[in-house]
């Protein structure tokens, strides 16, 4: 009987301990998300997108490129209604790795006159920046969704509103 009582107490203590650990883990998971690599922490960082905008406004393609992870995936969706993710007969370009993104950045830093941030937010692991891109003869409203890892942009998704005349 003493044995069963001792076993019951041990089970109750162990259950309480496991529950406390699980609750602590849930709280921590809202603050920091984990990627497939246990050593890589995903922590949303709006400052990386701010640095990206500053480098683009300074027309510094290399400084912009340095903010990207080596395995960057950049997706550009044109002519989207920014309230939805439904394409309005637009196009999608995907650039994978720094070499492909470098060509896109070199073109954009030469073409963009100014980027003006409008609003930003962080939800789950995605940092979102609403911005207006001013070109020489047109203006585009663009939503940038980024996943940042260790101070670098791992993925960048641009949702580009239909062009407006400047």
Answer whether 52's CB lies under 8 Å from 127's CB: no
Band of the pLDDT at 87, cuts 50, 70, 90?
low
pTM check: above 0.75: no
* CA–CA gap between residue 82 and residue 143 (Å, rounded): 7
Number of H helices, E strands in the chain: 4, 9
* CA–CA gap between residue 134 and residue 141 (Å, rounded): 9
Answer whether 146's CB lies under 8 Å from 153's CB: yes
- Over the chain, what is the mean pLDDT? 76
Band of the pLDDT at 164, cuts 50, 70, 90?
low
Say whether pLDDT at 23 is over 80: no
* CA–CA gap between residue 14 and residue 32 (Å, rounded): 27
Determine which of 67-71, 74-78, 93-97, 162-166 has the lowest per-residue pLDDT on average.
162-166
Q: Which residue has the tokens 């196009």?
A: 91
Residue 8 parent element (H or E) = helix 2-31
Residues ≥6 apart with Cβ < 8 Å to 122: 44, 46, 128
């Amino acid at each position: 009987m003493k044995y069963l009582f001792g076993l019951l107490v041990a089970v109750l203590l162990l259950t309480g301990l496991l529950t406390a650990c699980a609750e602590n883990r849930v709280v921590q998971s809202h603050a920091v998300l984990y990627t497939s690599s246990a050593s890589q922490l995903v922590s949303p960082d709006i400052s990386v997108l701010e640095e990206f905008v500053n480098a683009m406004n300074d027309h510094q393609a290399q400084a912009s490129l340095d903010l990207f992870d080596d395995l960057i995936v950049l997706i550009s969706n044109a002519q989207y209604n920014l309230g939805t993710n439904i394409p309005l007969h637009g196009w999608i370009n995907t650039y994978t790795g720094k070499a492909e993104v470098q060509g896109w950045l070199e073109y954009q830093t030469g073409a963009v006159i100014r980027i003006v941030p409008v609003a930003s937010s962080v939800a789950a692991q995605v940092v979102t920046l609403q911005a207006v891109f001013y070109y020489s003869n047109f203006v585009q409203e663009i939503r940038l969704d980024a996943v940042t890892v260790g101070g670098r942009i791992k993925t960048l998704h641009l949702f580009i509103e239909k062009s407006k005349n400047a």
